[in-house]
Amino acid sequence: MDEMVQAALLFWIPALALVVGTGTALSSRSQSIKLLSKIIALTGFLFVLLSPMTVPESPSSAAGHLLGSIIGPCALLITGIYLLAFSGNVEVGKLSSTDRKIGSASTFFGLIWLEGMHWWTWTPMLNGEVNPYWLVFWPTFLILSTGLSSGAAFALRYLGDSRENESNFMLIISLLTFSLTVLGMMLDGPNISSEIFRNHFWLAASDIFGIGIGVGLSILVFAMVIWIYESSLPPVNILDEPSKQELAQAASIIANHIGGEQE
């Protein structure tokens, strides 16, 4: 089979199925469509995961390899944060203290695993080289985490009421991710040198900036279309003032409903 056709069948169509299936599963109201979308998304996901073995010559299959490499720590982090959040002081559906311990351990090991991918030998390697998409994922994750955590810290402080402790907690997360990025820029890891990390830091920053402007521009274009249509709508017909007779009738109906004498 032709390489392009193979890549289309074993990577691109499953990737499309994963994106479309997830979107439909989240947005559809019909239970049967939801179930079908989940099956489609899961099948697409499995094919993308297997792409380094099914289409090893396609450069895009490195994304499937990355997905397989980061799914473990990401699942641990998501599960850990969920367990920690819902084993705290929540009114409904509070989880047990054992869940809290499991959540703490999951978050901790998830973070260590991700860190080990940069600072130890757990780096996603493909054909003897660092997976190129890991060098997209890791700096993007660090830059956004430090920025968003800092934003969350200030939002808690300025929008919340007596939320200084929570704000400080978020500042610690922001500082931690900030320090990890600076360390990556200055110290060599076993597989990623500080120079390579710095280069990819700039590229990731360019990606974030470009995506932000692109998304903002498209929102602006469609907002303009809606604004043009909305401003061209004909004005609403204004009714005549009610006559004295109509007012009297309305008054009697209201009096009947609030007086209660007839019941």
Of residues 54 through 73, those in contact with other proteins by CB under 8 A are 59-60, 62-63, 66-67, 70
- Span near other proteins by CB under 8 A; candidates 115-123, 221-229, 234-242, 249-257: 221-229
Find out whether 136 and 200 touch, Cβ atoms under 8 Å. Answer: yes
Question: How many other CB atoms are found less than 10 A from the CB of residue 50?
Answer: 16
Q: Select from 3, 13, 53, 88 the one that contacts other proteins (CB under 8 A).
A: 88
| Residue 212 near other proteins by CB under 8 A | yes
Residue with tokens 């009421």: 161
For other proteins, the binding residues in 150-189 under the rule CB under 8 A are 150-156, 158-159, 162-163, 165-166, 169-170, 173-174, 177-178, 181-182, 185-186
Binding to other proteins by CB under 8 A, coded x per residue (else -) over 93-132, reads ----------------------------------------
Q: How far is the CB of 255 from other proteins (least distance, A)?
A: 39
Q: How far is the CB of 62 from other proteins (least distance, A)?
A: 8
Find out whether 118 and 138 touch, Cβ atoms under 8 Å. Answer: yes
Binding to other proteins by CB under 8 A, coded x per residue (else -) over 127-156, reads ------x--xxx-xx-xxxxxxxxxxxxxx
Find out whether 157 and 164 touch, Cβ atoms under 8 Å. Answer: yes
Q: Which is nearer to other proteins, 161 or 263 (CB)?
A: 161
Residue with tokens 């043009």: 228
Q: Which is nearer to other proteins, 42 or 148 (CB)?
A: 148
Q: Select from 224, 248, 250, 253 the one that contacts other proteins (CB under 8 A).
A: 224
For other proteins, the binding residues in 13-42 under the rule CB under 8 A are 15, 19
